[in-house]
Amino acid sequence: MERRAIELWYDPEGDFMEVIFDEKAGYFRETKDDRVMEKVDADGNVLGFSVMKVSSLKGKPFEVALA
């Protein structure tokens, strides 16, 4: 099984983190948690996700199901 690199980007000023599993064309859509958006391709495959208000997560684990 081939391992792929995961890209992680964090913007402290915007308090925003993005994690990308696969560099393909796609779009972001909402999840059940308004802090998390998932990036999917045209077929609905998850390519990554973003988390807004990262600093609000200190000491507060949360769980979000991605498609």
Chain centroid offset of residue 65 CA: 11
pLDDT of 61 reads 78
Phi/psi of residue 9, nearest 5 degrees? -135, 130
Res. 58: pLDDT tops 90: no
Give tens-digit pLDDT for 23-48.
899 999 999 988 999 999 999 999 99
Taking alpha carbons only, the member of 40, 34, 5 closest to residue 21 is 5
Domain ranges across the chain: 7-57
Segment 9-24 shows an average pLDDT of 93
pLDDT at 1: 59
Phi then psi for residue 64, to 5 deg, are: -135, 130
